[in-house]
Chains A and B, each alone.
Chain A
Amino acid sequence: AQSVTQLGSHVSVSEGALVLLRCNYSSSVPPYLFWYVQYPNQGLQLLLKYTTGATLVKGINGFEAEFKKSETSFHLTKPSAHMSDAAEYFCAVSGGGGYQKVTFGTGTKLQVIP
């Protein structure tokens, strides 16, 4: 069984401040982990993906995430928020079963305050 918990359904940061979006996962097998972003009135698009190897994963638009097995976490960060980062962010885990069942978290809406 696999699951994802995103802490905080809404996060507000000031423009230029650090963005930290939290994700904890549960998986019975080594997981694949993803962060997707959804801009208003659009579908989801991939920000970054963790498979195996380096624990720090770099994605698009300056985002990165660190895989911490001991904490079963995969938090998303960006050093300096931009107004265009306002969107909803979804953490997802895959790895259970013989097919690609992806379980998405409930999402975190990021508000960037000018």
Chain B
Amino acid sequence: DSGVTQTPKHLITATGQRVTLRCSPRSGDLSVYWYQQSLDQGLQFLIQYYNGEERAKGNILERFSAQQFPDLHSELNLSSLELGDSALYFCASSPDPGQGSVQFFGPGTRLTVL
């Protein structure tokens, strides 16, 4: 158990819909990362937050957005969902945003778009 929690574990929805994925980082970790893992694209970095502020953006679509709240939990919002958005979404946390900081991954949310 990494100490990172993600809800829900599974989500099934239809095209065009909007969903919210939630992540609680390890106690004391200030940095949160979101990743998308799919069979064809592998593990893709989406976005990073540190203490409530956006720090880095990766391959995140405009239909996707995220935020980190004052209590440090984070939410990833996915809208106008397409079949290709079906994937595992991981959240990770680390104590700081430094380059050598180890990331601790949550168990993931499996999103299925029908």
Contact = CB atoms under 8 A, between A and B. Distances in A.
Interface of A: 32, 34, 36, 41-46, 49, 51, 90, 94-95, 97, 99-107
B101 interface: yes
Given A94-B100, A101-B56, A106 B42 contact: yes
A44 B94 CA distance: 13
Q: Closest 6 A-B residue pairs measured CB to CB?
A: A43-B105, A32-B100, A44-B105, A104-B43, A106-B42, A99-B56
A19 B98 CA distance: 31
Nearest to B9: A41
Contacts of A106: 42
Interface of B: 2, 4, 31, 33, 42-43, 45, 48, 50, 55-56, 58, 90, 92, 94, 97-108
A102 B43 CA distance: 11
Nearest to A52: B100
A41 to B, nearest CB: 8
